Amino acid sequence: MSREMLVVDGLQYSNWSREIFEQMHEGGVDAVHATLVYHENARETLSRLGEWNRRFEAHDDLIMPVHEAADIERARQAGKVGIFLGAQNCSPIEDDIDMVALLRRLGLLIMQLTYNNQSLLACGCYEAEDSGITRFGRQVIKEMNRVGMVIDMSHSAERSTLDAIELSERPVIVSHANPHAWHPARRNKSDRVLEAIAESGGLLGFSAYPFHLRDGPDCTLAAYCDMIAATADLMGIEHIGIGTDLCQAQPTSVLEWMRNGRWSKEMDYGEGSQTNAGWPRPLSWFRDNRDFPNLIAGLRQRGFDEEEIGRIMGRNWVELLERAAPPSVS
């Protein structure tokens, strides 16, 4: 059933395995935005790309790379899950603007300008002060526009996000977060940001990571779908999608590395705390890739029609990539 509806998940970072790719098939997933790197530099990013090439070879009956929006339909026709790669930080380009085109050519379709902290490009959502987009940031936004690499502000601060939307000639996205008005987590986005994202032609991917949810791991599917409905009213049905932030089978050490990278000598707990330092307890209705049909059922229950559900579950992501990540010019 769900195989007939195009399903795209706009953010996952799992401990990738054949089992997980099989679960994607089981859950009716057609394409996934997979996080390639968090803190890796250019050379380390090449190694992560090399690892993905090995996965594409080893599991070519289950997955294939997506270099442009049309590849998602090609993957679907081939009965495979399309994987498109994104960086959660701008560390892969280091201080080198030439890396943007090269990484786009290698299949990096999406890049966040910051990951929680100040970067060379912009300010992250955990800094006390946000001075907006930097000199280098302005150049990189222009270059990302040129080569068709999507600007993702999921972990960025408010002013930097609004600046980026203003500066960018292409749509800007928040691949994985929720409205701050619904749940005031630091990673969630203000209505002002959400409206600007929509106005840019961009997209918000709804997170299913308990730290981003009202009532955390106890958030109900009905409450989640109510949030989606309210956001559809705010942003328009064309500008919302899914970005679960699913991190399957990852040890706590990976969570600590995501939060601390190489930048901190003191443990940073990110969205957690010293007494709540680990991975959150999963949602009962969304444990892993096999549970996308629950989400579809919840949206039906909430009264969305099939056309709307099709947009939310995947079609909007495909159209966003068509607008913001055209085939590389490089």
Min dist. Cβ of residue 107 to a second copy (A) = 8
Please give the helix or strand (H or E) that residue 205 lies within, else none: strand 203-206
Between 91 and 116, whose beta carbon lies closer to a second copy? 91
Between 95 and 266, whose beta carbon lies closer to a second copy? 95
Q: Which DSSP string corresponds to 157-172?
A: -HHHHHHHHHH-SS-E
Site size for a second copy (CB under 8 A): 17
| 77 CB-side CA count, 13 A | 5
Min dist. Cβ of residue 326 to a second copy (A) = 17
Site string for a second copy, 4-43 (x = CB under 8 A): --------------------------------------xx
Between 108 and 240, whose beta carbon lies closer to a second copy? 108
**Residues whose CB is less than 8 angstroms from the CB of residue 126 and which lie 6 or more positions away in sequence, other chains included:** 116, 117, 186, 270
Residue from 5, 106, 177, 204 binding a second copy (CB under 8 A) = 106
Of 44-52, 201-209, 223-231, 281-289: span binding a second copy (CB under 8 A): 44-52
Site string for a second copy, 45-74 (x = CB under 8 A): -xx-xxx-xx--------------------
**How far, in Å, CA of 103 to CA of 99, rounded?**
6
C-alpha distances (whole Å) from 205 to each of 75, 86, 105, 127, 296 are 21, 14, 24, 23, 15
CB 219 within 8 A of CB 213: yes
327 is a site residue for a second copy (CB under 8 A)? no
Per CB under 8 A, which of residues 204..263 are in contact with a second copy? none
145 is a site residue for a second copy (CB under 8 A)? no
Please give the helix or strand (H or E) that residue 11 lies within, else none: strand 8-12
CB 280 within 8 A of CB 209: yes
Between 96 and 322, whose beta carbon lies closer to a second copy? 96
Please work out, in degrees rounded to the nearest 5, the angle formed at the alpha carbon of residue 92 by the alpha carbons of 240 and 169.
Answer: 45
Between 45 and 116, whose beta carbon lies closer to a second copy? 45
**How far, in Å, CA of 142 to CA of 2, rounded?**
38
Per CB under 8 A, which of residues 75..104 are in contact with a second copy? 96, 98-99, 101-102
Would you tell me which residues interact with a second copy (CB under 8 A)?
42-43, 46-47, 49-51, 53-54, 96, 98-99, 101-102, 105-106, 330
